[in-house]
């Protein structure tokens, strides 16, 4: 098989290649003066099983176009099968019509990826599980939970941990993680007054004297998790740590988290860390490269991927 790296997260691609003991396929990705993307595959890929690693994170449109053009170049180079490995699938939050005359952008992007020539998709912690159905090709949605659980067990006495969902929509995700470490569950009752702002109203469950683990799939502005930390500490929590799969961390999120009452914010490297994120004492990154690498190896060998999470 061949492993092709886009430019969205080169360090993760290199870590996956190290896990697989496989060199990255040589490519040339450059831009014309008007910023059009040009791709050239510099190795023979005829008849190969090719995996393209590319998160569609910021700048989302540039990284998406690079993925599509890489796919087209591989398809025209007679690759046998092309699997798009999307550690972070951008546009996933636009998975339904929130009001009249609005798009379902997640479906549109899924169509673009499919029609570009991708045969299979491998992604991580989709914002909503039903997005798998937006693709008309086989799609594996991996879960970062085993990686997060391992880190939690290394750093906390799990008999004093309570897993907390920052909103009602994340209860399924939080319950699954709580089950893995045999911990109780609490829920933050959050009401959003206007877009981009959240107000914590109530805590459902007992957190007094416990170490709270807030679990989410995406942290963007960080406001929800910071507000939830304040509410949990006000209810007697001993400490509050946040775990999120995708650290989008746009705008002033890094500074907001640094000034918050969170003990720590832990994210995976599905999105490449910015310089500000790397320098923040409250932000820590854990790697999903072994998980993604193992899933790629099993896909190439036509073995079960779901058994990774049994």
Please indicate if the annotation marks 136 as binding a ligand.
Answer: no
Please indicate if the annotation marks 193 as binding a ligand.
Answer: no
**Cα(83)–Cα(206) distance, integer angstroms:** 44
Please indicate if the annotation marks 81 as binding a ligand.
Answer: no
**Cα(12)–Cα(88) distance, integer angstroms:** 12
| Catalytic, out of 153, 179, 190, 282 | 190
Please indicate if the annotation marks 189 as binding a ligand.
Answer: no
Please indicate if the annotation marks 205 as binding a ligand.
Answer: no
Please indicate if the annotation marks 127 as binding a ligand.
Answer: yes
Of 178, 260, 172, which Cα lies nearest the Cα of 219?
Answer: 260
190 noted as active-site residue = yes
Cβ neighbours of 10 (radius 10 Å): 13
Please indicate if the annotation marks 269 as binding a ligand.
Answer: no
**Cα(8)–Cα(13) distance, integer angstroms:** 9
Please indicate if the annotation marks 221 as binding a ligand.
Answer: yes
Q: What is the 3-state secondary structure (H, E, C) of the chain?
A: CEEEECCCCHHHHHHHHHHHCCCECCEEEEECCCCCEEEEECCCCCCCEEEEECCCCCCHHHHHHHHHHHHHHHHHCCCCEEEEEECCCCCCCCCCCCCCCCCCHHHHHHHHHHHHCCCEEEEECCCCHHHHHHCCCCEEEECCHHHHHHHHHHHCCHHHEEEEECCHHHHHHHHHHHHHHCCCEEEEEEEEEECCEEEEEEEECCCCCCEEEEEEEEECCCHHHHHHHHHHHHCCCCEEEEEEEEECCCCCHHHHHHCCCCCEEEEECCCCCCHHHHHCCCEEEECCHHHHHHHHHHHHCCCCCHHHHC
Please indicate if the annotation marks 220 as binding a ligand.
Answer: yes
Please indicate if the annotation marks 25 as binding a ligand.
Answer: no
Give the up-direction half-sphere exposure of residue 53: CA atoms within 13 A in the CB hemisphere: 27
Annotated catalytic residues are: 190
* Residue ranges at the known binding site for Mg(2+): 127, 167
* Residue ranges at the known binding site for ATP: 34-36, 93-94
* Residue ranges at the known binding site for D-ribose 5-phosphate: 192, 216, 220-224
* Residue ranges at the known binding site: 34-36, 93-94, 127, 167, 192, 216, 220-224
């Amino acid at each position: 098989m061949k492993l092709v790296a886009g430019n969205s997260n080169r360090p993760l691609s290199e870590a996956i290649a190290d896990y697989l003991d496989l060199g990255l396929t040589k490519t040339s990705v450059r831009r014309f003066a008007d910023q059009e993307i040009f791709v050239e595959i510099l190795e023979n890929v005829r008849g190969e099983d090719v995996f393209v690693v590319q998160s569609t994170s910021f700048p989302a449109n540039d990284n998406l176009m690079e993925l599509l053009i890489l796919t087209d170049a591989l398809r025209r180079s007679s690759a046998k099968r092309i699997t798009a490995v999307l550690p972070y699938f951008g546009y996933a939050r636009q998975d339904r019509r929130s009001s009249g005359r609005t798009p379902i952008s997640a479906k549109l992007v899924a169509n673009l990826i499919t029609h570009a020539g991708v045969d299979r998709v491998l992604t991580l912690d989709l914002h909503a599980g039903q997005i798998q159905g937006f693709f008309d090709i086989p799609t594996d949605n991996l879960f970062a939970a085993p990686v997060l659980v391992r880190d939690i067990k290394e750093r906390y006495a799990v008999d004093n941990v309570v897993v907390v969902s920052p909103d009602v929509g994340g209860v399924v995700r939080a319950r699954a993680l709580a089950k893995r470490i045999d911990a109780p569950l609490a829920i933050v009752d959050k009401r959003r007054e206007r877009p981009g702002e959240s107000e914590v109203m109530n805590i459902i469950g007992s957190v007094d004297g416990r170490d709270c683990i807030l679990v989410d799939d995406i942290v963007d502005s960080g406001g929800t998790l910071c507000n939830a930390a304040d509410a949990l500490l006000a209810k007697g929590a001993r400490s509050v740590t946040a775990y999120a799969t995708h650290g989008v961390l746009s705008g002033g999120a890094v500074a907001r988290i640094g000034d918050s009452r969170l003990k720590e914010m832990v994210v995976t490297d599905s999105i490449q860390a910015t310089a500000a994120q790397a320098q923040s004492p409250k932000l820590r990154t854990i790697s999903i490269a072994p998980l993604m690498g193992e899933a790629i190896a099993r896909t190439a060998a036509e073995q079960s991927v779901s058994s990774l999470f049994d």
